[in-house]
């Protein structure tokens, strides 16, 4: 693979010349449509404004917002001056925001009003009360010594007291000379960190994954190549930009192929389906739950998907049945699956449009160019034979620089030879195609038998009454762990828990048949759509009164 040796700013500037009048970003839910040249000019103005406000190379700019236009502008503007964009999960609350601002040493915070019942402005007021007495978003806080500015994205009239409106940043940029701006850009290096993605933190505190221009641009190029992206494509991005799925698999894949972007601010099945139809999008990305929500929507048949060609289903294990339905019902004949993790920028393997349908629905593809992979025994660290299950490890250009201010955690994740240990259980076949079996921590060990949840989930996806399913291990005094299936039905009341167990009895080995079945309306998920299995386990312990079994200590 030939690597791209350019900064993010240089990539955008090339597009502004080579595809000046082509559409860069077009929203269907608001009045925002820009060409590549117009977008580059906007980003230059914002970049200069950041310089005027004292943001320098290496400074952290945190953004807490949905997929709004300002998100795209600050992404490129901060990269153009070497600032580091720290992405904030849209589901975060007071404790989590406070932690991230402190841990990242954020110098600027950019925000919106909030989402649903989560008021970002109220949260900021609580943790930074000094803002109420400030003007123009300038902060003097004892708690956040690094923080100097808080910026609001929204109408000027609705700007909360003490905050600065985002529109003012571009105006302030007029005070910065072209010479000063060019000097800053000339100081940049492709291996500079420009993005900090905070992991979800299901164990311990969230960690800031440090990613460089080189990491994310080249990963985006490989991803887009797998989909055969070109300037004639239009990608609908509804997955969050604060996550690598939106930022790299989405934006970086587009800028490396001059592909137009059609953003949706936050996921809604009808908004996504409508935008695909009206804008004639050729590609769409989503986690499995998003595709399920569209495929099962009452109005699905009213939308035209004939323009679609490709896209990516990823973010969590992809059910084979859902992949097949996306191909058959949404015209996604060239849909791909990608696998990796944030620490790997994030994609390590991906299927391509040229792969046969069996490979594209049954595997997560082959290793991308420039990336090495191996599967090892988690206990011994030795490579396992073809077809055997082990931990997926990766090495290459895409591996993070490390976790910000967490050297011990970094050394635990990346060994002395540069291999990233993912914690994912995988297999690889003789042709180099990988399958994800599960997480090491998710694997269920029942009476000495290793049970992989994905196998049981795939069985239930074939059952006509089941809309979605997740399988987790729950504590057992007798066996150590038992299998529990958490199921969403297509029609409420169509079958009960015992009936769902009976479905499995005739098709699965006895030890794989769920001991417990829970019928629910929804799964606990992160803002990026990832299923939170650990929460299901915690809920089950309470509901099933398994506290005594959970307290049993094991080696």
Question: Any idea of the CA torsion for 82, 84, 90, 96, to the nearest 10 degrees?
Answer: -160
Give yes or no for a contact between 432 and 367, defined as CB atoms under 8 angstroms apart: yes
Where does the pLDDT of residue 347 fall: very low under 50, low under 70, confident under 90, or very high at 90 and above?
very high
- Of the candidates 469, 459, 461, 464, the one whose C-alpha atom is nearest the C-alpha of residue 520 is 469
**Is the pLDDT assigned to residue 490 strictly greater than 90?**
yes
Task: Measure the CA angle with vertex 457, ends 453 and 458; round to 5°.
Answer: 120
**Is the pLDDT assigned to residue 436 strictly greater than 90?**
no
Helix/strand/coil for 541: helix
Where does the pLDDT of residue 528 fall: very low under 50, low under 70, confident under 90, or very high at 90 and above?
low
What are 236's strand-pairing partners? 262, 284
Kindly state the average pLDDT of the residues 8-22.
Answer: 98
pLDDT tens figures, 150-169:
999 999 999 999 999 999 99
**Superfamily name with CATH number, domain 444-550:** ANL, C-terminal domain (3.30.300.30)
The domain ranges of the chain are 8-13+34-198, 208-439, 444-550
**Is the pLDDT assigned to residue 200 strictly greater than 70?**
no
Higher pLDDT pick, 144 / 452: 144
Lowest mean pLDDT among 192-196, 364-368, 474-478: 474-478
Q: Do domains 8-13+34-198 and 444-550 have the same CATH topology?
A: no
Q: How far is CA 37 from each of CA 22, 41, 42, 149, 452, rounded to the nearest angstrom?
A: 8, 6, 9, 29, 50
pLDDT computed for residue 531 by the predictor: 85
Higher pLDDT pick, 300 / 93: 300
* Percentage of the chain lying above the pLDDT 90 cut: 80
Residue with tokens 């964009």: 85
pLDDT computed for residue 203 by the predictor: 47
pLDDT tens figures, 279-337:
999 999 998 889 999 999 999 999 999 999 999 998 776 888 889 999 999 999 999 99
- Of the candidates 192, 209, 211, 191, the one whose C-alpha atom is nearest the C-alpha of residue 200 is 209
Give yes or no for a contact between 109 and 98, defined as CB atoms under 8 angstroms apart: no
Average pLDDT, the chain: 93
May I ask the CATH class of domain 8-13+34-198?
A: alpha beta
Give yes or no for a contact between 474 and 486, defined as CB atoms under 8 angstroms apart: no
Lowest mean pLDDT among 99-108, 269-278, 451-460: 451-460
CA atoms within 13 A on the CB side of 141: 28
Lowest mean pLDDT among 81-85, 131-135, 211-215: 131-135
* Percentage of the chain lying above the pLDDT 70 cut: 97
pLDDT computed for residue 288 by the predictor: 86
Lowest mean pLDDT among 362-376, 396-410, 473-487: 473-487
Lowest mean pLDDT among 96-110, 230-244, 404-418, 436-450: 436-450
| Domain at 208-439: CATH code | 3.40.50.12780
Kindly state the average pLDDT of the residues 328-351.
Answer: 96
Task: Find all residues with CB under 8 Å of 31, minimum gap 6, and list them.
Answer: none
pLDDT computed for residue 527 by the predictor: 67
Q: Is 61 exposed, middle or buried (0-12, 13-18, 19+ CB in 10 A)?
A: buried
**Is the pLDDT assigned to residue 260 strictly greater than 90?**
yes
- HEC per residue, 190-253: CCCEEEEEECCCCCCCCCEEEEEHHHHHHHHHHHHHHCCCCCCCEEEECCCCCCHHHHHHHHHH
Where does the pLDDT of residue 448 fall: very low under 50, low under 70, confident under 90, or very high at 90 and above?
low
Kindly state the average pLDDT of the residues 95-124.
Answer: 95
Where does the pLDDT of residue 553 fall: very low under 50, low under 70, confident under 90, or very high at 90 and above?
very low
Kindly state the average pLDDT of the residues 113-125.
Answer: 94
């Amino acid at each position: 693979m030939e690597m791209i040796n350019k900064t993010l700013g240089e990539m955008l500037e090339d597009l502004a010349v080579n595809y000046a009048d082509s559409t860069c970003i077009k929203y269907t839910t608001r009045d925002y449509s820009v060409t590549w040249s117009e977008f580059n000019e906007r980003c230059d103005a914002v970049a200069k404004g950041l310089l005027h406000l004292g943001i320098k190379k290496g400074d952290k700019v945190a953004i807490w917002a949905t997929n709004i236009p300002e998100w795209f502008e600050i992404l490129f503007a901060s990269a153009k001056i070497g600032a580091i964009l720290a992405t904030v999960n849209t589901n975060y609350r007071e404790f989590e925001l406070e932690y991230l601002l402190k841990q990242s040493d954020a110098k600027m915070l950019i925000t919106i009003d909030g989402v649903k019942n989560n008021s970002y402005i109220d949260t900021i007021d609580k943790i930074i009360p000094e803002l109420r007495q400030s003007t123009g978003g300038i902060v003097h806080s004892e708690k956040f010594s690094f923080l100097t500015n808080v910026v609001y994205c929204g109408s000027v009239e609705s700007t909360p007291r003490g905050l600065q409106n985002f529109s003012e940043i571009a105006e302030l940029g007029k005070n910065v000379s072209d010479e000063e701006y060019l000097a800053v850009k000339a100081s940049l290096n492709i291996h500079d960190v420009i993005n900090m993605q905070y992991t979800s933190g299901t164990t311990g505190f969230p960690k800031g994954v440090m990613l460089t221009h080189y990491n994310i641009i080249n990963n985006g190029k490989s991803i887009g190549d797998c989909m055969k992206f070109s300037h004639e494509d239009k990608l609908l991005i509804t997955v969050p930009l604060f996550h690598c799925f939106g930022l790299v698999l989405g934006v970086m894949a587009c800028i490396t192929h001059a592909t137009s972007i059609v953003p949706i601010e936050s996921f809604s099945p009808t908004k996504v389906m409508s935008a695909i139809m009206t804008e004639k999008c050729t590609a769409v990305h989503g986690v499995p739950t998003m595709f399920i929500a569209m495929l099962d929507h009452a109005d699905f048949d009213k939308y035209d998907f004939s323009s679609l060609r490709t896209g990516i289903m990823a973010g969590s294990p992809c059910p084979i049945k859902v992949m097949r339905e996306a191909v058959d019902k949404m015209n996604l004949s060239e849909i791909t699956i990608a696998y990796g993790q944030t620490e790997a920028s994030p994609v390590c393997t991906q299927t391509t449009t040229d792969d046969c349908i069996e490979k594209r629905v049954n595997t997560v593809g082959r290793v991308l160019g420039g990336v090495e992979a191996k599967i090892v025994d988690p206990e011994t660290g030795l490579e396992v034979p073809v077809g055997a299950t082990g931990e997926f490890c990766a090495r290459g250009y895409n591996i993070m620089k490390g976790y910000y201010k967490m050297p011990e955690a970094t050394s635990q994740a990346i060994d002395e030879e540069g291999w990233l240990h993912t914690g994912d259980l995988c297999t690889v076949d003789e042709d180099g195609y990988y399958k994800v079996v599960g997480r090491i921590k998710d694997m269920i060990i029942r009476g000495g038998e290793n049970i992989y949840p994905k196998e049981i989930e795939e069985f239930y996806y074939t059952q006509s009454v089941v809309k979605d399913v997740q399988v987790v291990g729950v504590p057992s005094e007798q066996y150590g762990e038992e299998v529990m299936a958490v199921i969403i039905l297509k029609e409420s009341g169509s079958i009960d828990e015992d009936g769902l167990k009976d479905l499995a009895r005739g098709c699965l080995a006895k030890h794989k048949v769920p001991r417990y079945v829970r019928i629910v309306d929804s799964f606990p998920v992160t803002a990026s759509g990832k299923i939170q299995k650990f929460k299901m386990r915690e809920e089950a312990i309470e509901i099933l009164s398994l506290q005594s079994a959970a307290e049993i200590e094991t080696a």
